[in-house]
Amino acid sequence: MNIQVKWIVAAHGYYKLNVDGAARGNPGNAGIGGVLRDFKGDFIAGFMNYIGFNTNNESKLLALWNGLKMAKELQITNIILETDSILTLNYFDRDRGPLTTKLVNLAQDCRLMLTEFDNS
């Protein structure tokens, strides 16, 4: 079996933000990371952090928050966001959002930040 995986660049004039987080053991030692690239695929900025003892869900949401913060600090508002976590994306649907107060607050912060980005 031959499976091909390919990262696709953003549309002209846009930036692509890829983020992820993981916890070993869930909960366990956790880390986050993200990469911001322009429409040519050139590296613009990135981050990686050890975030201590956390769950997978929290680490993925923290990765998103950190990625949005990085793009905002760089004054980049035209982004395409990619993550491998449908659960993280569901946090933005108020009917399927996170169950813990900590995750609710973090998801609300992300929602607020997202309003500052170009959504065309």
Cα separation, 84 vs 96, whole angstroms? 17
Decide the pairing of beta strands 15-24 and 79-82: parallel
Question: If you search the block for the tokens 């065309």, which residue do you land on?
Answer: 120
Q: Which two tokens stand for residue 40?
A: 């040519």
Pick out the chain residues at pLDDT < 50: none
Is-contact 47 67, C-beta < 8 A?
Answer: yes
The pLDDT of residue 90: 80
The pLDDT of residue 61: 93
pLDDT tens digit sequence for 2-13: 776 778 899 999
Q: Report pTM.
A: 0.89
